[in-house]
Amino acid sequence: MPDKDFPFSTVRITPPIDGTCKICASKHPAEFPHNRFSLYYMMRFRREHGRLPTAEDAMKHCGEETRRMIHYVLTGEDAQ
């Protein structure tokens, strides 16, 4: 079967199940970053912003303490 291009806007996925984050469809504490690798989050974010989410996008709602902790976990460096 040959590959076919189709508009991104025609792709549909089901909403998150109960007990998961309504933004990224993953299970995480509300103060933690969204799962930027979640297909649901990537599609939702791309539809809203025209690009894929970054780690910064996923942490935008987090407090400063959480952002510093995640930065350290990802890079091994203290956040400035």
Residue 2 belongs to some domain of the structure: no
Asked if residue 27 belongs to a domain, the reply is: yes
Looking at the domain assignment, is residue 69 inside a domain? yes
Q: pTM for this structure?
A: 0.78
Q: How far is CA 41 from the centre of its chain?
A: 5
Residue 65 located in a structural domain: yes
> Whole domain around residue 48: which residue ranges?
8-75
Is 16 domain-assigned?
Answer: yes
**pLDDT tens figures, 2-51:** 567 767 667 788 899 999 999 999 999 999 999 999 999 999 999 999 99
When divided into structural domains, the chain yields a total of 1
Tell whether 3 is covered by a domain: no
Residue 29 lies in a domain: yes
List all residues 6 or more positions away from 44 whose beta carbon is below 8 Å from its beta carbon: 23, 24
Burial class (CB in 10 A: 0-12, 13-18, 19+), 41: buried
